[in-house]
A and B are shown apart, each in its own frame.
Chain A
């Protein structure tokens, strides 16, 4: 148990559906992240929130929409996805401070399949 909980664990959706991924961290961290893991590719950073403010958006298509209502919760809203968006979506958190020797704590991920 890493202290980062993601739901659902698995999601199958059609290209016209709207769904949301949820992440909650119980570690008191001040930064939360969405990563995408596709087969044989490095983990791709999608979004970063520091103190609820979005600080990174790595050229992610607008069909992915993040929401961070507070420092413990993070959502990824999905709409009109494409089959190539099928991947494992990982949430992570960290405590950002003076030291750069921070580490990420990951949730178990949501395995998304877009049909």
Chain B
């Protein structure tokens, strides 16, 4: 049972344009969400997070939006840069140490 879903396995965007990566979740108990970025042959690195008391969190070029009623969050990258090309995972922790991850979206930013 996949509680965090990323339905787009890949996304291509032109350099300078906006990248929007989507994530849906099913468990209404989730109250904190994270985005991780992963380059090939490296482990995932933390990118940005959002608490359910907010609907937006911004960090430089990266903004995460949370729509609790739709159980949906999205990561916006603007402007997109070639170095942003990576796999992006959304994740949510539950009780204890259980982090649930999506399957990832592979972003390619075309120069």
Contact = CB atoms under 8 A, between A and B. Distances in A.
Interface of A: 2, 4, 6, 9, 31, 33, 40-43, 45, 48, 50, 55-56, 90, 92, 94, 96, 100-109, 111
A100 B32 contact: yes
A6 B44 CA distance: 13
Contact of A104 (B2, B46, B102): B46
Contacts of B103: 40-42
Interface size class of B (residues with CB under 8 A): 20 to 34
A33 B93 contact: no
B25 to A, nearest CB: 12
Interface in B20-79: 31-32, 34, 36, 41-46, 49, 51
Nearest to B31: A100
B77 to A, nearest CB: 19
Nearest to A96: B97
Q: What 9 pairs across the A-B complex have the smallest Cβ distances?
A: A106-B43, A43-B101, A48-B97, A42-B101, A108-B43, A106-B44, A103-B46, A101-B32, A107-B43
B45 A42 contact: no
